[in-house]
């Protein structure tokens, strides 16, 4: 089962326009994450379920457009919540957020000196 995660977060709060990465499982994702840190200085503590504030991203391109499928990678349409203009306070754009999958954020802490 695909494991979705991101480094673009502040604790569990995922940044807008975050890069979402995938791995085969949690252990594979941990290896990817720790490849970004010096293992002598940092230790991996686990995962937090991510929280999107308004949306993962906002777009003026209609979800009916062919390019939408590329814009939501690594997800597919069935995994997305699409809020149309007029259904949110954000003006004439669409708010796009993963809905049927969990996106996790890593907990990485400095090692004691």
pTM of the model: 0.89
- What are the pLDDT digits (tens) for 5-46? 999 999 999 999 999 999 999 999 999 999 999 989 999 999
Locate the domains of the chain by residue range.
Answer: 3-110
At 44 the pLDDT is 96
Number of neighbouring beta carbons within 10 Å of residue 14: 24
pLDDT digits (tens, 9 = 90+) for 60-86: 888 888 888 999 999 999 999 999 988
How buried is 97 (Cβ within 10 angstroms: 0-12 exposed, 13-18 middle, 19+ buried)?
A: buried
85-111 pLDDT, tens digit each: 888 887 889 999 999 999 999 999 999
């Amino acid at each position: 089962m695909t494991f979705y995660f991101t480094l673009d977060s502040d604790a569990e709060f995922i940044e807008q326009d975050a890069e979402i990465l995938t791995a085969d499982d949690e252990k594979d994702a941990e290896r990817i994450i720790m490849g970004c840190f010096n293992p002598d200085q940092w230790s991996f503590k686990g995962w937090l379920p991510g929280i999107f504030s308004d949306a993962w991203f906002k777009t003026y391109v209609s979800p009916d457009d062919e390019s939408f499928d590329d814009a939501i990678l690594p997800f597919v349409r069935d995994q997305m919540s699409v809020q149309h203009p007029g259904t949110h306070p954000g003006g004439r754009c669409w708010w796009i957020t993963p809905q049927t999958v969990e996106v996790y954020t890593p907990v990485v802490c400095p090692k004691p000196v």
